[in-house]
């Protein structure tokens, strides 16, 4: 591993090891020159290949003449931002440091800056970090209206960081936390960066868009229904380790009871409902388009259903508001019944009242007639009884 270049009076040592540290002396005639070789060795766990949210471990070792100096270690990430590690163990020969949980944006070249005052040491050691994961947040919430088209996407970063190892993954759907998870599709990415997907589930109507980026897991729900809500989880697997990213789909719908035109003086109940729990900073709000402040109704915290009893026709809108931002809106048009329908309803009401009155009168007359017939029948029965007992009166001749 070493060679001497006499014409330059140089000693070249390749593939340095910690054991190569020490004092090297060059003698030439009566001249003698010594130099101290101080060697550092930096290793990173998992060979620098991590999944999102994993914690790397750095080991810095040094060897030189005793005593070994105390080192000050500073780390800079791929964005040249200073990172404060957690010192797990420290001896003169070995420093063990734990970093924070890695994000997908942490991929790149990191620098370990080693400093000592005595002897004076300022050494920068570069090392590569690759973090396989998702380019979107770990978890997000997506709102959709019933019967709309929804696209759920998970962009991966394997092309961006030039990941050269194969890995697999799958996409699962879970309607509720207590419900069974349904596997929608699985996929694998080759070492050459080619993505292959296979549909697995028939429980949910979904499509894999043909035109999508080659580094993205994506599904399309063409007509989303209320029961399609829940958690959609994309999971990556590499060498027995896993990382996942979730999208919570919340579906909103509106309805009216009774359905149909609103007649004069009548009321209708409008209902706005979402399929899942809302965060504390979100609420539902009904309001009438071009209406007044009196037409606005808002839900209480954590309510997933808002009902309003209205008597005014027009276009009513239900908004899902989060942090004063309208995330989604649904409209319901309450039609006003034509005038002739109101007259029909009034006529039907009057006619119904007259009919009820007539029936009541008929019942009274029938009752009186029945009572009279009963009394006449009773008198006749009594007369027959008297005749049988020979108690009838005889007229004188």
pLDDT in tens, 276-304: 889 999 999 999 988 888 888 999 988 99
Q: Where does the pLDDT of residue 137 fall: very low under 50, low under 70, confident under 90, or very high at 90 and above?
A: low
Structure confidence at residue 1 (pLDDT)? 73
Lowest mean pLDDT across 11-20, 46-55, 133-142, 308-317? 133-142
Structure confidence at residue 239 (pLDDT)? 94
Whether residue 159 is predicted with pLDDT greater than 50 in this model: the reply is: yes
Structure confidence at residue 353 (pLDDT)? 66
Q: What is the distance between the alpha carbons of residues 342 and 333, in angstroms, rounded to a whole number?
A: 19
Lowest mean pLDDT across 185-194, 365-374, 385-394? 385-394
For residues 218-222, average pLDDT: 93
Q: Where does the pLDDT of residue 347 fall: very low under 50, low under 70, confident under 90, or very high at 90 and above?
A: low
Structure confidence at residue 351 (pLDDT)? 61
For residues 145-173, average pLDDT: 93
Q: Where does the pLDDT of residue 373 fall: very low under 50, low under 70, confident under 90, or very high at 90 and above?
A: confident
Q: Where does the pLDDT of residue 345 fall: very low under 50, low under 70, confident under 90, or very high at 90 and above?
A: very low
Report strand pairing: 139-145 vs 57-63.
unpaired
Whether residue 92 is predicted with pLDDT greater than 50 in this model: the reply is: yes
Whether residue 221 is predicted with pLDDT greater than 50 in this model: the reply is: yes
Contact call for residues 185 and 197 (beta carbons, < 8 A): yes
pLDDT in tens, 226-244: 999 999 999 999 999 999 9
For residues 2-22, average pLDDT: 84
Q: What is the distance between the alpha carbons of residues 157 and 169, in angstroms, rounded to a whole number?
A: 14
Q: Where does the pLDDT of residue 5 fall: very low under 50, low under 70, confident under 90, or very high at 90 and above?
A: confident
Burial of 279 (0-12, 13-18, 19+ CB in 10 A): exposed
Burial of 241 (0-12, 13-18, 19+ CB in 10 A): middle
Q: Give the domain 139-249 fold.
A: Immunoglobulin-like (2.60.40)
Q: What is the CA radius of gyration of the chain?
A: 43
Q: Kindly report the average pLDDT of the chain as a whole number.
A: 86
For residues 33-39, average pLDDT: 90
Which CATH class name applies to 23-130?
mainly beta
pLDDT in tens, 298-344: 999 889 999 999 888 889 999 999 998 999 999 999 888 665 444 45
Structurally, at CATH architecture level, domain 258-334 sits in: Sandwich (2.60)
Structure confidence at residue 390 (pLDDT)? 57
Domain boundaries, the chain: 23-130, 139-249, 258-334
Distances (CA, A) of 282 to 227, 304, 326, 387: 21, 10, 10, 93
From the list 329, 296, 294, 332, the residue with the least C-alpha distance to 313 is 332
Structure confidence at residue 150 (pLDDT)? 94
Q: What is the distance between the alpha carbons of residues 162 and 132, in angstroms, rounded to a whole number?
A: 10
Whether residue 349 is predicted with pLDDT greater than 70 in this model: the reply is: no
For residues 355-375, average pLDDT: 74
Structure confidence at residue 396 (pLDDT)? 46
């Amino acid at each position: 591993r070493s060679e001497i270049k006499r014409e330059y009076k140089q000693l070249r040592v390749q593939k340095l090891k910690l054991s190569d540290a020490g004092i090297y002396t060059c003698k030439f005639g009566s001249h003698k020159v010594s130099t101290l070789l101080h060697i550092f060795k930096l290793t990173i766990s998992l060979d620098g290949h991590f999944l999102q949210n994993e914690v790397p471990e750095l080991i810095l070792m040094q060897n030189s003449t005793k005593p070994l100096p105390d080192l000050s270690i500073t780390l800079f990430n791929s964005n040249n931002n200073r990172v404060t590690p957690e010192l797990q163990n420290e001896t003169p020969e070995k420093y063990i440091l734990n970093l924070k949980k890695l994000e997908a944006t942490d991929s790149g070249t990191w620098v370990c800056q080693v400093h000592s005052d005595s002897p004076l040491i300022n050494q920068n050691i570069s090392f590569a970090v690759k973090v396989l994961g998702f380019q979107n947040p770990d978890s997000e919430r997506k709102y959709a209206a019933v019967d709309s088209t929804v696209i759920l996407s998970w962009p991966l970063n394997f092309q961006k960081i030039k990941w050269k190892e194969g890995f697999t993954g799958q996409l699962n759907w879970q309607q509720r936390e207590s419900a069974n998870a349904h596997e929608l599709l699985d996929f694998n990415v080759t070492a050459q960066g080619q993505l292959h997907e296979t549909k697995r589930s028939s429980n949910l109507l979904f499509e894999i868009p043909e035109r999508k980026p080659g580094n993205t897991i994506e599904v399309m729900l063409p007509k989303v229904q209320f029961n399609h809500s829940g958690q959609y989880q994309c999971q990556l697997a590499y060498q027995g380790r896993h990382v996942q990213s979730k999208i919570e789909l919340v579906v909103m719908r509106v309805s009216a009871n009774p359905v149909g035109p609103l007649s004069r003086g009548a009321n209708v109940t409008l209902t706005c409902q979402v399929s899942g729990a809302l965060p504390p900073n979100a609420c539902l709000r009904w309001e009438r388009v071009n209406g007044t402040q009196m037409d606005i109704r808002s839900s209480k915290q954590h309510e997933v259903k808002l009902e309003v009893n209205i008597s005014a026709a027009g276009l009513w809108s239900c908004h899902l508001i989060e942090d004063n931002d309208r995330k989604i809106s649904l409209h319901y048009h309450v039609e006003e019944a034509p005038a002739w329908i109101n007259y029909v309803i009034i006529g039907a009401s009057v006619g119904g009242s007259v009919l009820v009155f007539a029936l009541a009168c008929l019942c009274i007359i029938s009752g009186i007639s029945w009572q009279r017939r009963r009394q006449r029948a009773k008198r006749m029965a009594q007369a027959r009884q008297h005749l049988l007992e020979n108690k009838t009166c005889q007229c004188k001749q």
